[in-house]
Amino acid sequence: MTRTSWLQNRHIVLGVTGGIACYKACELTRELGRRGALVQIVMTEAATAFVSPLTFQALTNQEVRISVLDAKAEAGMSHIELARWADLILIAPCTANTLAQLATGQASDLLTTLWTASECDKAIAPSMNQQMWKHVQTRENLALLIDLGVAVIGPDSGIQACGDIGSGRMTEPMEVVNTLESQLARGPLAHRKVVITAGPTYEPIDPVRYLANRSSGKMGFALAAAASRLGGSVTLISGPAHLETPSGVARIDIETAQEMLVAVENSLDDTDIFIGAAAVCDMRPAKPSTNKLKKSIDNLSTIALTENVDVIQAVANDRRRPTLVIGFAAETDSVLENAKEKLLAKSLDAVIANCVANGDIFGLDNTQVTLIQNDMENPLTPGTKAEVAMEIMTFISKFLSKRI
Ligand code: CTP
């Protein structure tokens, strides 16, 4: 399996402004979709003269947003919510006029309003006549935007739609997307592949009943979100969990331990870091019934169990072993001792130990863990699972850089 695209599940506002290169924005929309991005198109009025909003609606299955004063659209997701939703605003094609508005902080339509209202990553693919591109005012506007951290993709040189030859053609859609992937995947885990298991597994007894455990999946999801924010290309293999997929994360849903093993094995190529945060059921009913078992004591008191495979141990022993294999140890007593035993028994690089006495950690938003490697015990600051996950991933990224 190839490396997960950094764009996977990223929320992207694609701004389309009025120039002949609008037609390229259609192919760009498709390519972003192919790489798993969730795309909301925002057009300027001028852009609608070049390509119909219906084209983009068909490509994204989403209504195109044009006006900030659209009461119906605002009632769904207001422009401020949309600004918060976006991980990236990409304006392609970006005309000289829009470029000037962005550089001077104007908020004269929906697109420029979103741009000024959002703290997300920003990128533009300029498209204009070569003379406009060379104009001193355009150069100054561009310098201002670069100074603000905006990624500028292109433009390319060549024959222009107007017949001029020079710089100003919008970069080809495939190249725009490739550049986004390489420029925006920043952080200590940029270009690193991280696979994380999360949640419980359900082991069927019959079509209605199953064996499971109390795991909510929150810690694994928080780790996936943190790894993605640190620039990693993240695959999250999750048992049943009622949680939203973190932005930038490719999610694979499974139910049983056996399905989890298959998904993990299919994802293992080129993986740098594997984290087993799932609470995998150690046992499963040996012969799940295809019919619902009737409530007779004979039926329900003699369910034969068989052992499940140890997923993380299989990863640690795989010939494609990731550079770091990190496990969790959820314990009710002798927490650190038991965690150290698991570190050795499963050939792990580190174990994150947490106390689950009284089941008082499951489903909560706060946690307290100790990171254990060989002889080192490192108690982390207690906090929300999101905060602790970020501390764990920051630690792991430093650990990885020492190993490679
Ligand atoms: N794990 C796994 N596959 C299993 C069991 C556990 O991948 N079948 C992983 C978990 O994801 C975790 C680590 O092993 O990273 C330790 O899991 P835990 O449930 O604490 O320990 P067990 O090995 O199941 O041992 P025990 O239940 O006896 O404590």
- pLDDT tens profile 73-109: 899 899 999 999 999 999 999 999 999 999 999 999 9
DSSP sequence for 159-197 = E-TTS-EEEEEPPPHHHHHHHHHHHH--STTTT-EEEEE
Residue nearest to atom 24 of ligand 1 (CA): 282
Q: Which CATH superfamily hosts domain 193-403? A: CoaB-like (3.40.50.10300)
Distance CA 347, CA 379 (A): 21
Enumerate the β-bridge partners of residue 325. Answer: 274
Residue 22 pLDDT greater than 50, yes or no: yes
In the chain, where the domains are located:
11-184, 193-403
Ligand 1 contact, 276 CB (< 6 A) = yes
346 C-alpha to ligand 1 centroid (Å): 9
Confidence at residue 1, expressed as pLDDT on a 0 to 100 scale: 40
Ligand 1 contact, 274 CB (< 6 A) = no
Are 44 and 13 in contact by the 8 Å Cβ rule? The answer is no
Atom of ligand 1 nearest to the CA of 278: 11
Ligand 1 contact, 220 CB (< 6 A) = no
Better-predicted residue by pLDDT, 302 or 318: 318
Ligand 1 contact, 237 CB (< 6 A) = no
Enumerate the β-bridge partners of residue 169. Answer: 156
- The pLDDT mean for the chain works out to 94
Confidence at residue 46, expressed as pLDDT on a 0 to 100 scale: 97
Ligand 1 contact, 114 CB (< 6 A) = no
Residue nearest to atom 19 of ligand 1 (CA): 279
Distance in angstroms between the alpha carbons of the first and the last residue of the chain: 22
- pLDDT tens profile 175-215: 999 999 888 878 999 989 999 999 999 999 999 999 999 99
Residue with tokens 């046992």: 283
Distance CA 373, CA 362 (A): 24
Residue 380 pLDDT greater than 60, yes or no: yes
Distance CA 286, CA 283 (A): 9
Confidence at residue 361, expressed as pLDDT on a 0 to 100 scale: 67
Residue nearest to atom 15 of ligand 1 (CA): 327
Q: For the chain, state the CA radius of gyration.
A: 25
Confidence at residue 160, expressed as pLDDT on a 0 to 100 scale: 85
Residue 6 pLDDT greater than 90, yes or no: no
Residue 216 pLDDT greater than 60, yes or no: yes
Question: Region 379-383: what's the mean pLDDT?
Answer: 94
Nearest to 394 by CA among 232, 262, 254: 232
Work out the widest C-alpha separation in the chain, in whole angstroms. Answer: 86
How large a percentage of the chain has pLDDT more than 70? 98
Helix (H, G, I), strand (E, B) or coil at 295: coil
Written as one letter, the residue type at 251 is R
Are 347 and 316 in contact by the 8 Å Cβ rule? The answer is yes
Confidence at residue 364, expressed as pLDDT on a 0 to 100 scale: 83
Confidence at residue 345, expressed as pLDDT on a 0 to 100 scale: 96
Confidence at residue 355, expressed as pLDDT on a 0 to 100 scale: 85
Residue 24 pLDDT greater than 90, yes or no: yes
Confidence at residue 272, expressed as pLDDT on a 0 to 100 scale: 97
CATH fold for domain 11-184: Rossmann fold (3.40.50)
Residue 362: pLDDT band (50, 70, 90) is: confident
Question: Do 11-184 and 193-403 agree at the fold level?
Answer: yes
- pLDDT tens profile 242-272: 999 998 899 999 999 999 999 999 999 999 9
216 phi/psi in degrees, rounded to 5: -95, -20
Ligand 1 contact, 342 CB (< 6 A) = yes
Q: Which of 203, 326, 328, when mutated, tests ligand 1's pocket best, judged by the most ligand atoms within 8 Å of its CB?
A: 328
Residue 348 pLDDT greater than 70, yes or no: yes
Q: Which of 280, 311, 343, 372, when mutated, tests ligand 1's pocket best, judged by the most ligand atoms within 8 Å of its CB?
A: 280
Residue 274 pLDDT greater than 80, yes or no: yes
Two tokens, residue 34: 């192919």
Ligand 1 contact, 308 CB (< 6 A) = yes
Q: Which of 273, 274, 282, when mutated, tests ligand 1's pocket best, judged by the most ligand atoms within 8 Å of its CB?
A: 282
Run of H or E including 307: strand 305-307
Question: Region 355-380: what's the mean pLDDT?
Answer: 84
Residue 356: pLDDT band (50, 70, 90) is: confident
Which candidate in 22, 94, 120, 162 is catalytic? 162
Distance CA 77, CA 67 (A): 13
281 labelled catalytic: no
Question: Region 282-300: what's the mean pLDDT?
Answer: 89
pTM score of the predicted model: 0.83
309 C-alpha to ligand 1 centroid (Å): 10
Confidence at residue 384, expressed as pLDDT on a 0 to 100 scale: 95
Question: Region 334-361: what's the mean pLDDT?
Answer: 89
Confidence at residue 147, expressed as pLDDT on a 0 to 100 scale: 94
Nearest to 9 by CA among 345, 185, 313, 251: 251
